[in-house]
Structure 1
Amino acid sequence: MRTYGEGCPAAHALDLVGERWSLLIVRELLLGPKRFTDLRSGLHGASANVLSQRLRELESAGVVSKRRLPPPAASKVYELTEWGRELEGVIVLLLRWGARSAAIPLDAPMGADALILSMRSLFMPQSAQGFDAAFELWVGDRPFIAEVIDAQLILAPGRPEHPHAVIRTDAETLKRLTLGGRSLDVSLHAGRVTVQGDQAMAERFLGMFRLPEPAAASAGAV
């Protein structure tokens, strides 16, 4: 592992998680343990060899651990250690900071976990005043609890007991509906999303996410 060779804690932190793909592995594990194949699915450009190497480095650093699930699954999964989970705040700040770039490539692929974390980071509480609701949000074959209570968002893996609506779609369409501002009616007519239950509440919920205004150009730009 390369090192900056500095005693600065920030430099040491980058020694531990600053290699390419390392922080994105952390991002992929924030919502729960994953098998190696699941990690590869969420990290489209990472080769198996590079991903294996980064996992070994993160495990050696105490950021990630691995364990074997009990039968009948008996699969090996990777998960964040308690210390590793403290990086969630770093990921959230990076999401919010990167969302202010005028050059963000919204047409590029985005996995379900990255999208869910982006939605959690870019939720607009001011748009949820007086709106309390629960939704069962399916992204592909994965269910998520989406609840708005007192202008606060709860968005996590699982299924709510009594949702006002069940929304089923894929990650790309959900990205367009939230961060891209696409109309729900357009996606419904195209067959890219289904809504069972209160469609008006679902539409309002999907409109509670927005990319911030791009950062102003630097003062030295010509």
Structure 2
Amino acid sequence: MKSEKITGAVKSRWYEDACGTAMALEFVGERWSLLILRELMFGPRRFGEIRAHLTGISANVLTQRLAGLEAAGLLVRRKLPSPASVQVYELTPWGYEIEPILQTMGRWATRSPLHDPTLPFSPASAMLSLRTMIDAGAARGLAMTIGFRLGEDQFLGTLADGTLDIVRGDPDGADVVIDTQPTPLAVWIYVKRPLAEAEADGSIRVTGDRAAAERFADLFALPVKIARPAG
């Protein structure tokens, strides 16, 4: 088949290839597509919320990508019930299945010397990175709840049996609550900036069990970088 309707208009196929990887790229190979899916990984979002966390995307391009992903069966549009009565975009069950792929790509790409963990993160990206990079072996035997307030976004994490589950939700009542922004969080977790230093300049505020926060941060490390080619 030479072309097919994906975004509402006839779209030329990029490949004539039976490989599953080629088929995947038909759905998510365009610029921004995977990042849109990343932003929806923690539940439905409004158009403006998605765009706010994708620096540089235009409203027109976001509209096109959302339409394409919807046509591919990766997300759906629906209207929230009253009193909200707003349209949101939400991953389908098949769409949610892309998370392990995003995690594998993330672990693979962060081995590059070009990766810079101090660049901006979105809240969803920061939370997905924690689910991706946790050292399951080091976490085994630890149990805690940890909340995150990242601006207007709130999440609640549950650490148990070496796994970390994170959902959107009110973090009140967690063993420890981290009030910060995504980038200072990443610098503390991955660059290993001392927590006391981040607290001193106000970039991170810890409520609850501070020792638990320190133990939590110790569960994460970036992978060893690949060697740059000689010459």
The two structures share one fold, judged by TM-score above 0.5: yes
TM-score by length of 2: 0.89
Q: Percent identity?
A: 39
Matches within 5 A, 1:1-222: 1-3=11-13, 4-159=15-170, 162-217=173-228, 221-222=230-231
| Structure 1 position 52, deviation (Å) | 0.7
Structure 1 residues 12 and 130: alpha-carbon distance in aligned structure 2, compared to 1, 3 A threshold: closer
CA distance in 1, matches of 2:53, 2:20: 29
| Structure 1 position 131, deviation (Å) | 2.5
| Amino acid paired to 2:148 | L
Residue aligned with 2:191, SS? coil
Q: CA RMSD in A?
A: 1.7
Structure 1 range deviating more: 123-132 or 167-176? 123-132
Is the CA contact 1:120–1:153 (under 8 Å) kept in the aligned structure 2?
yes
Structure 1 residues 129 and 80: alpha-carbon distance in aligned structure 2, compared to 1, 3 A threshold: closer
Structure 1 residues 137 and 75: alpha-carbon distance in aligned structure 2, compared to 1, 3 A threshold: same
Residue aligned with 1:156, SS? strand
Residue aligned with 1:49, SS? helix
Q: Which residue of 1 aligns with 2:3?
A: none
Gaps of 5+ in 2: 1-10
Moved over 6 A (4+): none
| Structure 1 position 127, deviation (Å) | 2.9
CA distance in 2, matches of 1:19, 1:138: 32
| Structure 1 position 129, deviation (Å) | 4.2
Gaps of 5+ in 1: none
Structure 1 residues 60 and 130: alpha-carbon distance in aligned structure 2, compared to 1, 3 A threshold: closer
Count, aligned residues: 220
